[in-house]
A and B are shown apart, each in its own frame.
Chain A
Amino acid sequence: MRSEAQSLVTRTGIRPCGPGSVGVASAASDPAVINIRDLEVTYRVYGVQPTRALRNVSFRIAPGEILGLVGESGAGKTTLARAIMRVIPLPGRIERGEISFMGADLRAMSEADLGKRRGRDLAMIVANPRGELNPLLRIGVQIATVAEVHLGVSRKRGLEMARDMLHAVAIPDPEQRLRAYPHELSGGMAQRIVIAMALICGPRFVISDDATSGLDVTVQAQVLALLRKLVREQQTSMLYITRDIGVAANFCDRISIIYKGEIVEDAPTGAFFSGPAHPYGNLLFAAFSHDAELRRRWMGNAPAADGDAAKAPCLYAERCFKRQARCLAEHPALREIAAGRLVRCHYPVGR
C-alpha cells in the first residue's frame, strides 16, 4: 500500500484498483467516467405542486474531461451535484434516471458501498471552504484522515501524503501549515486545503460546485491553474459548476447550459463561445454587452428561474423574443445540430 500511495500526487494515468474499487473491465465497456441519463429530481412539499428541479438531464463526461455546467441560481446546478453524490436533502428525491460511474450504477449501490467511494473515487469541492473544515482540528490531521479512511494508510503515512498534497496545491511551507488550524488560513488558502482533501485519493471524478467564486481574481487565477494541472496529471474528470461564464470559457473543455432544470445547450467550449445556438446561451452573452439596445432585444423581460411557473411547453418561451406558435405547443427535445453540439430549441440561432 505504501509504495502505491506514494506516487499518487505526481502519477499520471489511472490510480490502482484496491478491493471494491472500480475495475478496468467495466471502464472499457463504457468510455465515459460519468454517464447520466434522463435524471429527474423533484422537491415535494405538502400542499403545493412539486418542484421539478431537474428534468430529463442527460450527459456524459469522458476521462480527463472538464465539463462546465453553467446556469443561474435556482436552475438546478447544486441539485445535480448532490444527486450524483446521492446527498439530496429532503424533501428532494431522485424520481427517475440513471447515474453511472465507470459502469457502476450509483443509484442502486448500497449506502455503505457508496460511502466508500465518496472521497475516494468521487470527490466534491464546494464554495465556502471554511464551512468544510473542522475548526477544532489541525488541517494536517483533516487531510490525512481522508487518506487513512479510504486508502488504509497509517497516520504517519497520511501526514506525509498530506504534506505532499499541500506542496502540490502550492501552499508555501507545507510542513508548518500542517499544524495550522482553519482560522489561521486565508480564504484562498482554505480553498486549496479543501482541494487537497478532494484530490488526495486520486479520484476519477471531481465535482466543483462554485468552488472559486468566493476568491479574489488573482487568487482565483492561481487556484484554477493549479486545479487544471492536477486534474490533467491525474486524468481526473470534472464537473465544474459555475455561474461565471468567464471562468467556464477559460477552464472547461465543454459547456452545458442548464435552465430551469433542463440542459438547453451542450457544446465544445470553442464552439459555444464563438456563437451559442440556444437563445438563452445568447442571453448570457447579452448580459455582458454594453449595447443597451442589443441587450434589451436578447434579454427582454427577464424573470428569474422559477420552478414550474411557466405554462408554455418550451420552458424558455416566456423569456424568448424568437418564440413562435410551435414553442407554445410542443416541448423541444435536445437534438444534435452539428457534431458534438446539442441544443433544446425549435429555432436555434443560425449562423
Chain B
Amino acid sequence: MVQAVNGVSFTIAPGETVALVGESGSGKTTIGRCVLGLVPPTAGSIRFRDREMGRRWNVRSPALRGRMQLVFQEPGESLDPRMPIGRSIAEPLRFGSFDRAARQRRVQEVVQRVNLPLGILDQYPAELSAGQQQRVAIARAIVTEPELLVLDEPTSALDPTARADIIELLVRIQRELGTAYLFISHDLSAVYQVSHRIIVLYLGRILEEGASRAVFRTPRHPYSVGLLSAVLLPSPGLQRETTFVLEGEIPSPIDLPPGCPLATRCPFRIGRCSTGFPAGETVGPQHVVHCFRHEEVAAREQAADTFEEFQRKVQQILAVHEEMTEAEPLGVPTLAEHGQMRRVPGDTER
C-alpha cells in the first residue's frame, strides 16, 4: 500500500501564498490534486469555502468551475498545440455566461495583465518561448478570476530570466486580484520570494510548518535544516552552515514502517522515532515542528538566513557606481513587433 499523504492539515486564507516544499515523492503534487478534488482522499476532509472537495465536488463541478485553477510545470505540454493561444485562454470561459464580445474583452485584458502582446492571440504554442508559454498558461488560469490557484512547479522548467519574470508576475497578480496560491515547488529561492507560509513535507507527512521567514531562518526539523543547507546559491561558499548532513535518499513509499518517515536518514534518530510519529509542537508564532528532538536541533543549529544574505550580495554587485546612460535606440524590431521567438534547433534541454 502506498500512503502518499498522511495526516496533513492546513488552511489557506484569501490572498495568501502557502508553499509546499519537499523532495520528489513527498506528496506535494498529490496534495495539490486533492485540493482540486481530483483525487478523493481515503480519509479526512478538504473544504473549499463551504464545499467538501473530492467526493461530490471537484474543480470540474459547475458550481466551482473557474473558482479554482491549476498551472503546471511544463507549459509546452499543458497547452493544446493545435489551438491558437486566444482560444486556449478563452476556453475556461466557455461555460460562463459570457457572450462573444465579453469573452474577447476578458481575454484581451488578461493577456495584457500578463505582459504579452495582443498579436500573440493568433499564434500557436510552438511559436512561443517557454517563458511566454508559461505566461499564457497563467493567463488561462486567471481569466476566470479564480479565488485559488494551484501552482505545481510553475518555474522549474524555465531559464533564470524567464523564471524571474514569472515570479514577479505571480506576485503582481496576487496583489492586484487577491488570489490565494498553493505554491508547490522544490525551488527554495522561488519559495522564499513568494510564500507567506511554508509547509515542509516528507513522504506524505508534514514535518514542519510556519511563517516562511521563520522556517528559513530558524528551521527546527533536521529535514528542513538538511534541505536548506543543500541549496546552492549563486555565490561561492554561501551555504547554510550546519552540523550534520542528511545521508541517502528518500526511500520507497510502499509499505512505510510506523514512526517518523525520516528515521532511516536522520542523524538525530532515537529509539522511539521508529515507533511513533511525533505530535506537532509549537515553537513560535504559527511555527509547528514534528520532531522529538527539535530542542537539540535548535541548540546546535544557528539562526541564519543565507537567502537574505545572498540578496544583500546581489544588491551590492548590481548597484555599481557608474553613470547609467540611456540606451541607444535600436533599429531592430522590438519584442512586441517581432512577436515571436524561435528556438535554436538541436537544443534538447527539454
Which residue of B is nearest A302, CB measured? Answer: B161
Task: Assess A285 versus B343: contact at CB under 8 Å? Given A188-B249, A217-B227, A302-B165.
Answer: no
Which residue of A is nearest B165, CB measured? Answer: A302
Q: Which of B234, B237, B350 contacts A288 (CB 8 A)?
A: B234
Is B186 interfacial (CB 8 A cutoff)? yes
Which residue of A is nearest B192, CB measured? Answer: A290
| Contact across chains for B342 and A78 when beta carbons are under 8 A apart | no
Which residue of B is nearest A88, CB measured? Answer: B346
Task: Assess A218 versus B23: contact at CB under 8 Å? Given A78-B348, A89-B346, A310-B332.
Answer: yes
Is A325 interfacial (CB 8 A cutoff)? yes
| Contact across chains for B160 and A284 when beta carbons are under 8 A apart | yes
- CA of A250 to CA of B233, assembled, Å: 8
- Comparing A104-112, A197-205, A230-238, A267-275, the segment that makes contact with chain B is A267-275
Chain A residues whose C-beta falls within 8 Å of the C-beta of B283 in the assembled complex = none
Task: Assess A304 versus B341: contact at CB under 8 Å? Given A73-B349, A311-B332.
Answer: yes
- CA of A45 to CA of B345, assembled, Å: 10
- Comparing B40-48, B93-101, B319-327, the segment that makes contact with chain A is B319-327
B324 to chain A, nearest CB (A): 7
- Comparing A12-20, A146-154, A291-299, A337-345, the segment that makes contact with chain B is A291-299
Task: Assess A189 versus B159: contact at CB under 8 Å? Given A78-B347, A274-B317.
Answer: no
Interface string of B311-341 (1 = CB under 8 A from A): 1001101111010110110111011001001
Q: Which of A53, A189, A294, A307 contacts B319 (CB 8 A)?
A: A294
Q: Mostly helix, strand, loop or mixed at chain B's interface?
A: loop
Which residue of A is nearest B128, CB measured? Answer: A304
- CA of A309 to CA of B23, assembled, Å: 39
A121 to chain B, nearest CB (A): 25
Is B226 interfacial (CB 8 A cutoff)? yes
| Contact across chains for B23 and A216 when beta carbons are under 8 A apart | yes
B21 to chain A, nearest CB (A): 10
Interface size, chain B (Cβ < 8 Å): 63
Interface string of A51-70 (1 = CB under 8 A from B): 10100000000000000000
Task: Assess A73 versus B350: contact at CB under 8 Å? Given A284-B160, A312-B330, A323-B328.
Answer: yes
Is A328 interfacial (CB 8 A cutoff)? yes
Which residue of B is nearest A296, CB measured? Answer: B168
- CA of A312 to CA of B300, assembled, Å: 56
| Contact across chains for A53 and B315 when beta carbons are under 8 A apart | no
- CA of A343 to CA of B247, assembled, Å: 41
| Contact across chains for B324 and A321 when beta carbons are under 8 A apart | yes
| Contact across chains for B320 and A43 when beta carbons are under 8 A apart | no
Chain B residues whose C-beta falls within 8 Å of the C-beta of A256 in the assembled complex = none
Interface string of B152-172 (1 = CB under 8 A from A): 000000011111110010000
Excluding A251-B232, A327-B328, 8 further A-B contacts by CB distance (< 8 Å) are: A43-B345, A73-B159, A75-B344, A249-B232, A302-B161, A312-B331, A317-B330, A328-B328
Task: Write the residues of chain B forming the contact surface with A, with a CB cutoff of 8 angstroms.
Answer: 23-24, 129-131, 159-165, 168, 186, 188-189, 193, 226-227, 230-239, 245-246, 248-250, 310-311, 314-315, 317-320, 322, 324-325, 327-328, 330-332, 334-335, 338, 341-350
Task: Write the residues of chain A forming the contact surface with B, with a CB cutoff of 8 angstroms.
Answer: 43, 45, 51, 53, 72-79, 82, 88-89, 91-92, 127, 172, 186-189, 210, 216-221, 224, 243-251, 261, 269-270, 273-276, 282-292, 294-295, 297-307, 309-312, 317-318, 320-325, 327-328, 349-351
